Copies of this chain bind each other. A is one copy, B any other.
Amino acid sequence: MVLAGDGIGTEIVAEAVKVLNVLQAEGAIDVTLQDGLVGGAAYDAAGDPLPEETLEAARASDAVLLGAVGGPKWEPLHISKRPEKGLLGLRAGLGLFANLRPAILYPQLADASTLKPEVVSGLDIMIVRELTGDIYFGQPRGVETLPSGERRGFNTMVYTESEVERICRVAFDIAMKRGKKVCSVDKANVLECTEMWREVATKTAADYPEIQLSHMYVDNAAMQLVRAPKQFDVMVTGNIFGDILSDCAAMLTGSIGMLPSASLNEKGQGMYEPIHGSAPDIAGKGVANPLATILSVAMMLRYSLDAVPAAERIEAAVSKVLDQGLRTADIMSSGMRQVGTAEMGDAVVAEL
């Protein structure tokens, strides 16, 4: 299922679909694409950021490719009608509890980072963020009026042991195929909920004798990402801490226009999307970077469609296009050739 969403979503998804179509025509993969509405686009068309129809079709799909949702146009809406609710509804509705967010520095784009080259060269972190629990979905929540007439807003951070164990297993399994190091991030010195998280992570690790598990407080993790990010292999954490840390980690690479993400459920269904947003300021101008979305297709082929060779071809094609010096505006640097969204997509297709 293809959900372009809002802002630059339509443009970047169009390039990713080109890639899928080429692989399909070749017989390298066998997919049927179905479009749907989500986010502000769905609100505008149907008064709901996640129409029942979209959720049903997504449930029936093997995988969902998402562009991006949101924009200033919908900010005045009540929180329950905002584009973000469409995204959160898909996560909850499909049970996409495991969000994989790689933060990889492309050697061709080493200069784009605001960090010194020696600090980030070769950076390759996988952040595993729990995506259907925590304060994002916890009850009770809301704003109440106290007897004094003053309002009081509240949200609940909550995790059960099985939710923690489930996401830790995903992180451990991934780490087994990488550097076998997992850093679990919590605030166990203050929050009981995350003190339990730490206990469960430790207990679950007993099944993975080869994994080297460490624990870090979230404030220190934010520091360490800036100080010495290469100390990390896989990081696992809850929904809200993961939201903050994965964006911080992504920015270390200087090229968030390059980073894909996957959100998986227990059945192997997944939703794939670039980690960047809908960039309303450049929407419709044909200048957005489609590579994160194209790399999201590669993740989709790898994790949900069992087409690893095709995934590798996409990744190699993206790397070649960068080698050729092609750059969209967000990753442009002197001596390179600046191209638009479609030209970048075409270049990847040509290299496939």
| Contact of A191 with B135 in the complex, beta carbons under 8 Å | yes
Given contacts A114-B227, A226-B252, A248-B226, contact A155 B191 (CB under 8 A): yes
Contact residues in B for A160 (Cβ distance below 8 Å): 146, 150-153
| Contact of B248 with A151 in the complex, beta carbons under 8 Å | no
List the number of copies, as a whole number.
2
| Contact of B193 with A114 in the complex, beta carbons under 8 Å | no
Q: In the complex, how many residues of chain A place their beta carbon closer than 8 angstroms to a beta carbon of chain B? A: 62
| CB-CB contacts below 8 Å: A136-163 with B | 136, 138, 141-143, 146, 150-162
Contact residues in B for A153 (Cβ distance below 8 Å): 158-160, 191-197
State in angstroms the CA–CA spacing of A337 and B114 once bound together.
29
Taken residue by residue from 62 to 76, chain A's Cβ proximity to chain B (1 for < 8 Å, 0 otherwise) reads as: 000000001000000
| Contact of A243 with B226 in the complex, beta carbons under 8 Å | no
| CB-CB contacts below 8 Å: A190-204 with B | 190-197
Taken residue by residue from 163 to 204, chain A's Cβ proximity to chain B (1 for < 8 Å, 0 otherwise) reads as: 000000000000000000000000111111111110000000
| Contact of B157 with A152 in the complex, beta carbons under 8 Å | no
| Contact of A190 with B84 in the complex, beta carbons under 8 Å | yes
A227 → chain B closest CB, angstroms:
5
Which stretch from A8-16, A92-100, A215-223, A293-301 is at the chain B interface? A215-223
Does A292 touch B at the CB level, under 8 Å? no
Does A128 touch B at the CB level, under 8 Å? no
Contact residues in B for A248 (Cβ distance below 8 Å): 222-223, 225-226, 248
Does A88 touch B at the CB level, under 8 Å? yes
Does A285 touch B at the CB level, under 8 Å? no
Q: Which residue of B lies closest to A239 (CB)?
A: B190
| Contact of A222 with B193 in the complex, beta carbons under 8 Å | no
Does A29 touch B at the CB level, under 8 Å? no
Contact residues in B for A240 (Cβ distance below 8 Å): 187
Contact residues in B for A104 (Cβ distance below 8 Å): none
28 A-B pairs in the complex with CB atoms less than 8 angstroms apart: A79-B188, A79-B189, A84-B189, A114-B226, A114-B227, A114-B228, A135-B157, A135-B190, A138-B154, A141-B191, A141-B192, A142-B192, A146-B160, A150-B161, A150-B162, A151-B160, A152-B160, A153-B191, A154-B159, A154-B193, A155-B191, A155-B192, A219-B243, A219-B244, A222-B251, A223-B250, A227-B254, A244-B244
- The 6 nearest A-B residue pairs measured at CB: A153-B193, A153-B196, A222-B248, A219-B247, A226-B251, A223-B251
